[in-house]
Copies of this chain bind each other. A is one copy, B any other.
Amino acid sequence: MINEQSYAYGASKSSIREIAAYGAARKAEIGAENVFDFSIGNPSVPAPDAVRESITHALTLPAIALHGYTPASGLPAARKAVADSLNRRFASGNDTYSADDLYLTCGAAASISIVLNAVCNAGDEVIVIAPYFPEYAVFIQNAGATCVEVLADAATFQIDVAAVEAAITERTAAVMIDSPNNPVGAVYAPENIEALAEVLRAKTVEFGHPIYLISDEPYREIAYDVQVPWVPDFYDRTLVCYSYSKSLSLPGERIGWVLVPPTNPEHDRLVPAVAGAGRKMGFVCAPALFQRVLIDCVDEPTNIEAYARNRKALTEGLSRIGYEYVEPQGAFYLWMKALEPDANAFFERAKSFELLPVPSDSFGCTGWVRIGYCVSYDTIVDSMPAWQALWDSYRQ
């Protein structure tokens, strides 16, 4: 018989994808220039030229070698390229990374799903910091665990460590964070991560089993005038999930990785657990051609200037009108207060002005919207009269 959970996940799209689909249809109806679609996190910056050059070069290789199966964890040269890059950027003392600590994946969703299936057992709990990327809940449920939402600090949107501490039970398998954060754009401060690490260390002792910290970092490279702390420096039992969807603008190509730092006390059992989780879910290997792209492009700089310019135009424009928002430190989302308590009602009104943000309820809290500014600069500038009209409609 049809699996009702699978059916439900397929019958109801994620609300982000639903709004994006509405946006596409509406653009076809009234013209693209008249719809301001801020819904989906599709990078508006193209992949660097080096990606095209890398693929062109790869096509000179014999096709059998180029397109053949790779080891399940990825081409050794690709994993080494990633490890070397991590070492250049983050290694401290003896904590260096090697190819064997890395498992290449089919993108961020695969990285997260695989890690969850490596460290969760039926009945476990995984804590997320709300507002959070809604698909986390789907992946956590599919790993047999329950998603436990803990609200971020209401003033700073940093991790509310006391609230996390209160939420940890003997069933807690992991805490999941992403910094820079989607949807808020917060970057967690070193002292915030350190405080969380202390709690996790204490709770690991208290409950007598490891509590892992899953650090989902697709937005690491997109940060504005702030350093993004390297989480394994703070907590040994960290598992890092990464994707090149945003940093190299390759979201459709599905390429990322999981890092099991060698400082993790269970490293030698976690590495096979990650590989086994990938195997049992049907991830045979990451796409081979894009594994080779990593060898060439792992250190390509992300063009954050375009996002910084968009961020400036958006925040200045909305400020001038009077909107309240969280100043984004990273990623390409603005978290803005809705003009009424019901974010869905606010969204519906925004929609009538052809503005398409995403209401906060999908992210696990009420009263806000997410504005994705990974759009063209013109979209932001041209949307300002609509934001003004929306504001005015609440002042009549």
By a beta-carbon cutoff of 8 Å, the part of chain A in contact with chain B is 1-3, 5-11, 17, 40, 42-47, 51-52, 55-56, 59, 62-64, 66-70, 72, 106-107, 109-110, 112-114, 117-121, 135, 138-139, 141-142, 173, 209-210, 249-254, 266, 269-291
Residue of B nearest to A63 (CB): B46
Give the copy number.
2
**Contact: B63 with A282, CB < 8 Å?**
no
Interface pairs (16), CB distance under 8 Å: A3-B276, A6-B118, A6-B274, A10-B274, A11-B276, A45-B64, A55-B59, A67-B253, A68-B251, A69-B252, A70-B252, A106-B282, A110-B283, A110-B284, A142-B282, A253-B288
Residue of B nearest to A13 (CB): B72
From known contacts A52-B59, A64-B249, A67-B251, infer whether A1 and B46 are also in contact, taking CB-CB under 8 Å: no
**Contact: A251 with B142, CB < 8 Å?**
no
**Contact: A254 with B120, CB < 8 Å?**
no
**Contact: B1 with A119, CB < 8 Å?**
yes
Residue of B nearest to A209 (CB): B1
From known contacts A10-B277, A273-B6, infer whether A67 and B138 are also in contact, taking CB-CB under 8 Å: no
User: Bound complex: CA of A287 vs CA of B288, how far in Å?
Assistant: 10
**Contact: B9 with A276, CB < 8 Å?**
yes
CB-CB < 8 A to A68: which residues of B? 42-43, 251-252
From known contacts A138-B279, A283-B106, infer whether A10 and B271 are also in contact, taking CB-CB under 8 Å: yes
**Contact: A112 with B282, CB < 8 Å?**
yes
Residue of B nearest to A122 (CB): B3
**Contact: B42 with A6, CB < 8 Å?**
no
**Contact: B2 with A266, CB < 8 Å?**
yes
**Contact: B141 with A107, CB < 8 Å?**
no
**Contact: A276 with B139, CB < 8 Å?**
no
**Contact: A64 with B46, CB < 8 Å?**
yes
**Contact: B280 with A139, CB < 8 Å?**
yes
**Contact: A280 with B46, CB < 8 Å?**
no
CB-CB < 8 A to A7: which residues of B? 118, 269, 272-273, 276
User: Bound complex: CA of A230 vs CA of B311, how far in Å?
Assistant: 54
User: Bound complex: CA of A269 vs CA of B7, how far in Å?
Assistant: 7
User: Bound complex: CA of A62 vs CA of B273, how far in Å?
Assistant: 39
4 further interface pairs, Cβ-Cβ under 8 Å (given A7-B276, A109-B284, A113-B281): A7-B269, A56-B59, A106-B283, A138-B279
CB-CB < 8 A to A119: which residues of B? 1-3
User: Bound complex: CA of A25 vs CA of B279, how far in Å?
Assistant: 23
**Contact: B249 with A2, CB < 8 Å?**
no
**Contact: B10 with A272, CB < 8 Å?**
yes
User: Bound complex: CA of A285 vs CA of B245, how far in Å?
Assistant: 12
CB-CB < 8 A to A283: which residues of B? 106, 109-110
CB-CB < 8 A to A139: which residues of B? 280, 282
User: Bound complex: CA of A210 vs CA of B2, how far in Å?
Assistant: 9
User: Bound complex: CA of A287 vs CA of B112, how far in Å?
Assistant: 18
**Contact: A284 with B107, CB < 8 Å?**
yes
**Contact: B284 with A287, CB < 8 Å?**
no
User: Bound complex: CA of A249 vs CA of B63, how far in Å?
Assistant: 8
CB-CB < 8 A to A44: which residues of B? 64
User: Bound complex: CA of A335 vs CA of B7, how far in Å?
Assistant: 39
**Contact: A51 with B69, CB < 8 Å?**
no
**Contact: B67 with A252, CB < 8 Å?**
yes
For the complex formed, measure the closest distance between the CB of A16 and the CB atoms of chain B, giving whole angstroms: 11
